Structure 1
Amino acid sequence: MSRSSARARPGQDRASLYAEITDKIIAELEAGRLPWVQPWGASATGAAIGMPKNAATGRRYSGINVLILWGAVIERGYAGQAWLTFRQALAVGGNIRKGERGTTVVYADRFIPEAERERADRDGDEPSAIPFLKRFTVFNTDQCEGLPDTIASTAPPVPEGLILPQADALIRTSGADIRIGGDRAFYSVIGDFIQVPPPQAYFEPVNWHRTALHELGHNAEIRIMPHLLGRARLAV
């Protein structure tokens, strides 16, 4: 391999990573995976509203990683917004379940090579920093096992008697795959399931029903007009 081609590789890898992330975000937008108005709070969901975070450090992800992790939660139906690297899962006493597929996120920063520092010292200039972009893989806590209770993402149980009988009957007999947990409400066209936060998270109990029925309407639209499903899949 020539020295010139070796020098070109970091830039090529960075451009490839930018293109990969851009394509992923465009696919999420074309699939219609967008947040809806949110009539619930964060305390009962165990996660910050709409913001993914690292389960080991508590630090929130930022920038393009927010969109990447939102998309993964919606597409795969995870109950929470907490994530771990493979090593972090082991460090807290758990592990990643066999066969689970991670999500690629990126870390951007700058560094100053030692040669550049020496040049700047000689010339009396400010050293020039070189930007870099690094990819790494994270796993949602739903993909892990053996995690401490303080880290594991488990949806709170639904209180008995909270759901109105008529609405409850309609939701139960709809035949839709309704998953309770997390801190976002949506209907996944690709996965054909509905996700809603637990009833305890809502400011008004009736809003749980409104949200579930709202998402059920999206589900019914696909069942009544199944050609829309094929169109949505082609867009991904």
Structure 2
Amino acid sequence: MGTGNGSLYDDVTQHIIAQLEEGRLPWVQPWDTSLTATGLPRNAATGRCYSGINILILWDRLFERGFGAQRWITYRQAQALGGNVRKGEAGTIVCYADRFTPKDEQQKARDEQREARQVAFLKRFTLFNVEQCEGLPEALMTMAEPRPFEELVPQAHRLIRACGADIRVGGESAFYAPSPDYIRVPDQAAFHEPINWYRTILHELGHWTGHSSRLDRLTGANLGSDDYAREELCAEMASAFLCAELGIVPTVRHADYIGGWLAVLREDNRAIFRAASQASKAAHYLLDFLPAEGGEHD
């Protein structure tokens, strides 16, 4: 995904559109048929989690190549740790957003006595999975053990309680009501699998983070609009990121929105980047309510 010399926005967007057209969601990977433990991809040298679109890019390569480790590293980091990337291994291009001020804009701003306007751009860099390397410290090569199922529910329950959201149990449908600022979810008995009750709440918590008192993302868009589709896309990915980090296998919750997501992505090649960024912020906002277990976030 996104390894060519063209626009990274176009490369990644077209790849995700192709997956959605096939009915596959890139943020819901086949964890249950893989030896890979759930979790967010991390930098092997720093322990920091990757975020935003880089999660989708790295997960895509993870399952394409069948890697068992969620740890990634740059060529120089591998050398600094006493190892190296094996000859012939192809890296995975990821990116981070940065800004700069053109020189002519700096001069113009001085002449007009105003602040200079910055230009946003994506900077690419290449990562390798630790399984593409040799000579790295053994601790970096050891695969993480999946969490026992009996630990998953308590951890999810701790997050739900710690965030302080107003969650009201009852009724026949799950939703987040922005104005009164509460989540409604059916009783656990309505779910065939108990873990789906937690997956559902995590999705609604994704919406909950967008309230004006928190991440201030919600627009009050009407059902069926592009803004509504964008918010559902954000909540879907936030839930998937949360599930993965909590050790819960992510699943498709709202596949009926695929048509709306396709329309948004076909119109705007940066939409998936913004949605993934917002989803990461939402997931990290919620994960920060838990005692720190892993690394920081990139």
* TM-score normalised by the chain length of structure 2: 0.42
Confirm or deny that 1:66 pairs with 2:66: no
**RMSD between aligned residues:** 3.0
2 CA distance for matches of 1:105 and 1:77? Answer: 18
From 31, 40, 58, give the equivalent of 1:51: 40
> Partners in 1 of 2:17 and 2:70 — Cα distance?
21
Aligned to 1:16, which of 7, 32, 47?
A: 7
Question: For 1:132, what is the secondary structure of its paired residue?
Answer: strand
- How far 1:36 moved relative to its partner? 6.4
- Residue by residue over 1:10-67, the C-alpha shift from the partner in whole angstroms, topping out at 9 and shown as x without a partner, is xxx99722111112223444373624688xxxxxx6xxx5211111122221111110
Partners in 2 of 1:74 and 1:141 — Cα distance?
A: 14
Q: Which amino acid aligns with 1:78?
A: F
For 2:139, what is the secondary structure of its paired residue? coil
Is residue 126 of structure 2 the alignment partner of residue 133 of structure 1?
Answer: no
Q: Percent identity?
A: 51
SS of residue matched to 2:138:
coil
Larger radius of gyration: 1
| Gap change, CA 1:87 and 1:35, over 3 Å in 2 | same
Q: How many residues align?
A: 142
Q: Write the letter of the residue equivalent to 2:109.
A: A
* Matches of 1:116 and 1:25, distance apart in 2: 36
Give the conservation status (yes or no) of the 8 Å contact 1:28–1:71: no
Q: Specify whether residues 37 and 21 from structure 1 end up closer, same or farther in structure 2 by C-alpha distance, changes over 3 A only.
A: closer
Consecutive unaligned residues of structure 2, counting only runs of 5 or more, are: 152-298
Q: After the TM superposition, which residues 56-95 of structure 1 pair with which residues of structure 2 at under 5 Å, given as runs? A: 56-95=45-84
Q: Distance in 2 between matches of 1:118 and 1:103?
A: 38
Q: Quickly say closer, same or farther: Cα 1:141–1:17, change in 2 above 3 A.
A: same
Q: Structure 1 residues 142, 70: CA separation in 2 closer, same or farther (over 3 Å shift)?
A: same
**Following the alignment from structure 2 to structure 1, what is the Cα–Cα distance between the partners of residues 128 and 49?**
15
Task: Give the AA of the match of 1:71.
Answer: D
* 1:201 maps to 2:147: yes
2:112 equivalent among 123, 148, 168: 123
Partner-residue secondary structure (3-state), 1:19: helix
Relative distance call for 1:27 and 1:74 in structure 2 (3 A) is farther
Aligned to 1:234: none
What's 2:98 paired with? 109
Q: Which amino acid aligns with 1:92?
A: L
Residue identity in the other structure for 2:124: R
CA distance in 2, matches of 1:58, 1:136: 17
Q: How far apart are residue 204 of structure 1 and its match?
A: 4.2
